[in-house]
Amino acid sequence: MAVLKLHLDEFDEVDYDLIAIHSSLEDFRLAYFINQNLPIILNKSKEEVGVIVKEGEAFFSKFTFDDAKNDLLWSLIQNKNDILTNQKSTKQNLFLDTNMEILRKVHLISELKKVDYFLKIENNNGTFLIEEIVSQLNKIERISAAYAVIPEKIKSKNNLIF
């Protein structure tokens, strides 16, 4: 009987390219401008990216485009979101033992807190040059910066598996 061994290293392979985007635009407006400048049609996905953080569960909006012709999956994901948490008042005051609702900012990739959005391109084996995509994104007036990120250097890259 043959023995089959699986190495955990095989599952850590990164098969996507990642571009960080800095922009003050809302997610739907950014998707519109990206659709105008790249040969893709991003659509709002019904599924959001859910991540458990110490403050609770956070959901990040996602726009996707399934490029069947090139066998690529494009995803635009927001990196910043606010979640509402309940906290008990600990100070001695008139409102002792009251629950306070606090809005906290959470990040999909906590190492890159300044990044507003990520553009993830799955299965891009040289179909599109990342430098050209970054160049096209930087031509969009409302994007202040766009640059490639090396996914292997991100500690919380498991949040990008969806």
Report pLDDT for 123. Answer: 87
Phi, psi of 152 (to 5 degrees): -65, -25
All structural domains of the chain, each given as residue ranges with its CATH number in brackets, are 15-88+98-160 (3.30.310)
Alpha-carbon distance 159 to 162, whole Å?
Answer: 8
Mean of the pLDDT values across residues 65-74?
90
pTM of the model: 0.81
Band of pLDDT at residue 114, cut at 50, 70 and 90: very high
**Mean pLDDT value of segment 34-41:** 93
The residue count for the chain: 162
Compute the chain's Rg from CA coordinates. 19
State the Cα–Cα distance between residues 142 and 34, nearest whole angstrom: 11
Quote the DSSP letter at residue 33.
H
**Exposure of 5 by Cβ count < 10 A (0-12 exposed, 13-18 middle, 19+ buried)?**
exposed
Q: Nearest-CA neighbor of 156 among 106, 122, 94, 96?
A: 106
